């Protein structure tokens, strides 16, 4: 009586095992683009970018996701944190995000992407002045050159000494602000 179901089970298990090598890989959100995308989350944990020290090859994309509060990302010069590097520095604008009712982390329905054009360091900060995010250490870097002495910790220490308000650009520029491909993703 029990022989047939057991045989079927064995056959099914054999079938799954032998089929595995030909199974297609699970599509990911980056499959629609030929570029590598590095995700950075602004606002977790606390006033931080996560990760805040990113290594990204030229041609890749850094995609910023924004958690609750009202964060932003702006490109700075290493020597002058909390201010735009120059008139061409990227600026994401602000991303107001309310808290979820249950207290869990929520994220903006929009993201901001920049293209990594070369292997030079890209320094950045959050320009939110309520709570002085940049001066509190909400800074980061793409392609830091550790041997140069220009490290993220030196940049963060300099940011803590900035007395005036953090600077912004007149408008979003230097990247792409668009729909979040995974707004319900848990961070
Ligand atoms: Cu912020």
Residues 36-60 have pLDDT tens digits of 999 999 997 779 999 999 999 999 9
DSSP 105: -
- How many helices (H) and strands (E) the chain has is answered by 2, 11
Q: Look at 183 and 78; give whichever has higher pLDDT.
A: 78
User: How far, in Å, is the centroid of ligand 1 from the Cα of 26?
Assistant: 34
CA atoms within 13 A on the CB side of 73: 30
Q: How many C-beta atoms surround the C-beta of residue 83 within 10 A?
A: 20
List, as one string, the DSSP characters of 14-80.
HHHHHHGGGSPPPP-GGGGSSS-EEEEEETTTSS-EESSEE---TT-EEEEEEBSEEE--EEEBTTB
User: How far, in Å, is the centroid of ligand 1 from the Cα of 135?
Assistant: 10
Amino acid 88: pLDDT:
97
Q: What is the pLDDT of residues 134-179, one digit of tens each?
A: 999 999 999 999 999 999 999 999 999 999 999 999 999 999 999 9
User: How far, in Å, is the centroid of ligand 1 from the Cα of 175?
Assistant: 18
Q: Look at 83 and 6; give whichever has higher pLDDT.
A: 83
Domain ranges of the chain: 36-179
Banded pLDDT at 186 (limits 50, 70, 90)? low
The 3-state DSSP class for residue 8 equals helix
Banded pLDDT at 185 (limits 50, 70, 90)? confident
Amino acid 26: pLDDT:
43
- CA 180 to CA 36: how far, in whole Å? 16
Q: How many C-beta atoms surround the C-beta of residue 108 within 10 A?
A: 22
36-179: which CATH topology?
Immunoglobulin-like (2.60.40)
């Amino acid at each position: 009586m029990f022989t047939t179901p057991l045989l079927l089970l064995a056959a099914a298990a054999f079938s799954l095992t032998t089929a595995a090598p030909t199974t297609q890989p699970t599509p990911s959100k980056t499959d629609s683009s030929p570029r590598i995308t590095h995700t950075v989350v602004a606002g977790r944990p606390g006033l931080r970018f996560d990760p805040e020290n990113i290594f990204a090859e030229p041609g890749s994309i850094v995609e910023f996701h924004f958690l609750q509060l009202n964060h932003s990302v702006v490109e700075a010069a290493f020597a002058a944190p909390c201010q735009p590097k120059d008139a061409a520095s990227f600026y994401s604008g602000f991303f107001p995000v309310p808290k979820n009712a249950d207290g869990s982390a929520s994220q903006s329905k929009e993201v901001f992407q920049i293209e990594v054009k070369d292997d030079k360091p890209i320094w950045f900060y959050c320009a939110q002045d309520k709570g002085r995010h940049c001066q509190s250490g909400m800074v980061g870097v793409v392609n830091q050159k550790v041997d140069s002495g220009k490290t993220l910790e030196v940049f963060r220490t300099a940011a803590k000494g900035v007395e005036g308000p953090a600077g912004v650009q007149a408008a979003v520029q230097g990247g792409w602000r668009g729909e979040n491909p995974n707004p319900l993703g848990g961070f």
